[in-house]
Each structure stands twice: as structure tokens, then as C-alpha cells.
């Protein structure tokens, strides 16, 4: 099983977190969907609602892998890796296999197929309970990485502001000196060029 890194999980959360936006886009394009329609559909000229094909799903995972690792030759994860990860973590969270199966777009096996019926709201509640197993430290890692990046950028801004202030003060000193030597009057005051 491929271990899904922080950035990949973050990317998946970003993509799946926009399901409402996806619904709006589907409706805007003129598709008629209902509760049994797939969440992500293939856009076709005839406006027939059809699920994404294997290639489209693989392309979405390739794009997420590229965002995560910046090189598809180095590392990538697939829909199978994602299901493998999800299955293991949902089992660790104590969910029954009959609850896990529909979350992974499978049907319950054997005799359970006939008797195990779960509404979407029930599956969503179970999924939410399992989130701590799916993303226990990942969210904190993402937050920490983002905070480090923000701090790094803030340090760069602070350095640039200091350099700008220093260069401006030096330029004003030089200009002041040239104007004084030339005997020309100037309007800026000496306080403007005092060292900080």
C-alpha cells in the first residue's frame, strides 16, 4: 500500500470538499441529476449523466500525485492505493465492512448484499466518526507546514522591508550630500535620513 502523504491528503480534501461547487457546475451545464447520480460525471454533448471513466479517474489521481510529489516518475498513487488506504483506516476506526464497502463504491459481499442497506446520511455520520483515523496528524502537519511557509514568507518580507528602508536612507544621504556640495537647496529634512 502506498502511504498517502500530507500534501496528497490535503489535495484530496480540497477536491472532495468542493462537491457543492461540483453540483452547481453540473446544473449550470444543463445536466439533470438525482440522488442516484454519480458525484463526478463525464461531460458529454448529449447531456447524458454518466460516471467518469477509468481514464478520467486515473488522470485525476495523476494530477493529485503531481501536485503532491512534483514528479510522476518518482512517486504516484492510484485509485487502488486510495481504496487500500481508506479500507485499512476505516477498519482501524472500527467500522463494519458493510459500512465500508459503499464508501469505497463496492457492494456488501455474500448474503449481506441482500440485507445491508444504508442511507447516505448514515454513511456520512460513520465517515465523520472515522475522520480521526483518516487524518489524525495529517491536518496538524498541513497546518504546521503552512505556518512554516507563512513564517518563511513573512521573514522574506521583513528582510526586503529592511533592505528597502536601508537603501532608501542611503540614497537620501547620498542625494543630500550631492545637493549640499552643489550648494542647491532641498526640501527634505535631516530627520528623514537618520539611521534607524
Q: How confident is the model at residue 10 (pLDDT cuts 50, 70, 90)?
A: very low
Phi-psi region at 70: left, alpha or beta (left = phi > 0; alpha = psi -120 to 50): left
pTM assigned to the model: 0.46
Residue 86 and residue 104 in contact, taking contact as beta carbons nearer than 8 Å: yes
**Alpha-carbon distances of 155 from 18, 34, 44, rounded to whole Å:** 33, 50, 49
Question: How many residues are given for the chain?
Answer: 196
Residue 91 Rama label (left phi>0; alpha psi -120 to 50; beta): alpha
Burial of 92 (0-12, 13-18, 19+ CB in 10 A): exposed
Query: Worst-scoring range by mean pLDDT, 11-15, 77-81, 167-171, 178-182?
Result: 11-15
- Segment 145-176, tens digit of pLDDT: 778 888 999 999 999 999 999 999 999 899 88
Can you name the residues that pair with 51 across neighbouring β-strands? Answer: 41
Question: Domain-by-domain residue ranges, the chain?
Answer: 1-77, 78-136, 143-193
What the block records as the C-alpha cell of 76 is 504516484
- How far is 99 from 41, CA to CA, in rounded Å? 24
The answer to whether the CB of 2 falls within 8 A of the CB of 51 is no
Write the pLDDT tens digit of every residue in 57-76: 888 888 888 887 788 887 77
Does pLDDT of 2 surpass 50? no
pLDDT higher than 90, residue 137: no
Could you give the 3-state DSSP secondary structure of residue 110? coil
Task: Give the Cα separation of 194 and 161 in Å (integer).
Answer: 17
Structure confidence at residue 114 as a pLDDT band (50, 70, 90): low
pLDDT tops 70 at residue 11? no
Amino acid at each position: 500500500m502506498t502511504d498517502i502523504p500530507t500534501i496528497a491528503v490535503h489535495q484530496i480534501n480540497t477536491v472532495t470538499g468542493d462537491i457543492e461547487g461540483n453540483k452547481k457546475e453540473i446544473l449550470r451545464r444543463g445536466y439533470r441529476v438525482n440522488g442516484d447520480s454519480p458525484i463526478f460525471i463525464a461531460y458529454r454533448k448529449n447531456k447524458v449523466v454518466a460516471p467518469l471513466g477509468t481514464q478520467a479517474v486515473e488522470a485525476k489521481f495523476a494530477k493529485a500525485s503531481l501536485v503532491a510529489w512534483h514528479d510522476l516518475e518518482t512517486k504516484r498513487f492510484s485509485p487502488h492505493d486510495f481504496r487500500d488506504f481508506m479500507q485499512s483506516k476505516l477498519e482501524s476506526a472500527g467500522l463494519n465492512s458493510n459500512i465500508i464497502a459503499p464508501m469505497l463504491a463496492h457492494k456488501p459481499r455474500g448474503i449481506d448484499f441482500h440485507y445491508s442497506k444504508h442511507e447516505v446520511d448514515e454513511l456520512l455520520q460513520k465517515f465523520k466518526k472515522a475522520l480521526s483515523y483518516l487524518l489524525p496528524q495529517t491536518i496538524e502537519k498541513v497546518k504546521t507546514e503552512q505556518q512554516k511557509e507563512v513564517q518563511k514568507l513573512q521573514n522574506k518580507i521583513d528582510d526586503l522591508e529592511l533592505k528597502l528602508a536601508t537603501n532608501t536612507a542611503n540614497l537620501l544621504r547620498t542625494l543630500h550630500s550631492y545637493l549640499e556640495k552643489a550648494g542647491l537647496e532641498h526640501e527634505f529634512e535631516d530627520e528623514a535620513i537618520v539611521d534607524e
